[in-house]
Amino acid sequence: MRVLSIFILATLAVSSHASDLEPDATSYYSLAEPSANSDSDQRSVIRFTDTSAGWINTHIAVDAGETILLEAEGLWEIQGLRAQPRHVIWYRVGDEGTAYNLAANRFSFVSDNAGDLYVTVRPVGIYWDSPQGAYPVEFSALPGFDTGLSLRVMQDAQTVPVMQQPPRGFSYLANLGQSQAWSDQTVDGQYTVQGEPIDDTGIIKAEVDIPISTDTVFSFEWNYQAMPAAMAETNIAGHDYFSVALEFANGQDLTWMRSEFLTAGEHFRCPLPWWDQRETHFVIEDAAVPSGSWQTHERNVLADYAEAVPGDLPKKIVGVWFIANNVFAKQPGKALFRNLKIQQGGEEIALIPAATRKQSEL
């Protein structure tokens, strides 16, 4: 996930002091306007010089329906950990607008509403408390950093980059952010979901509404073609992986995955802060199975949940997820998924490509 760990940042907070940063009174960011006599296009350049600033009003007025082009540059390095601009830069239009991240370092959007453009660098390991991007209380305890990142803003953009769309019926988790990690295609005549992040992360979700019974079986096929992890996924530094997951009405999610370092049958809570309160990983395929070939799995949902997840059993499935990450070791990774189904009571529910259908509509 797009996380370097709040633990790492908290450690930095102990070893850094505000006086060490010596910011000017107005050095939260700088906004450079190109010269009116310049031959260059008229774009505002924002440089993020202090992460403690939170949300910054650029005073760039945006109209509803206007196309805005954002071009981000730089690399934020924290003790050897490297974050691309798209991992941490967020924007919204208006003080109460919805917060979004950049899906790519060169990214455009069409504004749903009118207002000033706000931008921020959200430190990795921090998650919003609201759709508008309210920072959690722990953010105030972190020191400010000059990120070395910059953002160019072009209004009324006429030429925009083409973004890879997520698979049909899926959308990226809003709090984690959008990316270019997932796509869909037809492979060997079958609808297939493909994960192939490039120094990126992404969780896509399709909403469902499926009651669970003791005979509920989750079946799927996958083909792991390149594994991104450099060490066991139980470590934060090794937590690069692909998985398929079910989200439950109790707020927990259970993911099934392959590992080259762990043994099939192992399960563990996510090692990342925030996620460790809500996500559990279940290894069901290991290095003993050759990679690069299609493998079929059938899992009894409640049996796996009872074994791996603490607490009461869930009563309903509310989401189907695909998860991809390679931001830690940044090794190439690629995995394909197809034929996701829920089987129960003698019936079969296809989850892809029409994953947005509700149980009541089947």
- For the domain covering 6-155, report its CATH number: 2.60.120
The band of 208, judged by pLDDT with boundaries at 50, 70 and 90, is very high
- Tell me the H-state helices in the chain: 6-15, 18-21, 85-88, 301-308
Contact 59, 150 (CB under 8 A): no
Average pLDDT value for residue range 124-140: 94
In this structure, what are the phi and psi dihedrals at residue 157, rounded to the nearest 5 degrees? -65, 135
Global pTM?
0.87
Number of residues that make up the chain:
362
| Every domain of the chain and the residues it spans | 6-155, 171-361
Q: Mean pLDDT in the chain?
A: 88
> Closest by alpha carbon to 243, among 333, 353, 350, 127?
333
Q: 6 with 126: CB under 8 angstroms?
A: yes
Q: What is the pLDDT of residues 217-252, one digit of tens each?
A: 999 999 999 999 999 999 999 999 999 999 999 999
The reply to whether 171-361 shares the fold of 6-155 is yes
81 falls in which pLDDT band (50, 70, 90)?
Answer: confident
- Confidence grade of residue 39 (pLDDT, cut at 50, 70, 90): very low
Top mean pLDDT of 6-20, 132-146, 305-319 is at 305-319
pLDDT value, residue 3: 36
Q: Check residue 32 and give its pLDDT.
A: 52
Instruction: Assign 54 a pLDDT band (cuts: 50, 70, 90).
Output: very high
Give the largest CA-CA distance in the chain: 73
Does the bond joining 353 to the residue before it have cis omega, within 30 degrees of 0? yes
Q: Specify the fold of 171-361.
A: Jelly Rolls (2.60.120)
Using pLDDT thresholds of 50, 70 and 90, give the confidence band for residue 354. Answer: low
Is there a contact between 316 and 184 (Cβ–Cβ < 8 Å)? no
- Give the CA distances from residue 16 to residues 8, 20, 86, in Å, rounded to whole numbers and listed in that order: 12, 7, 25
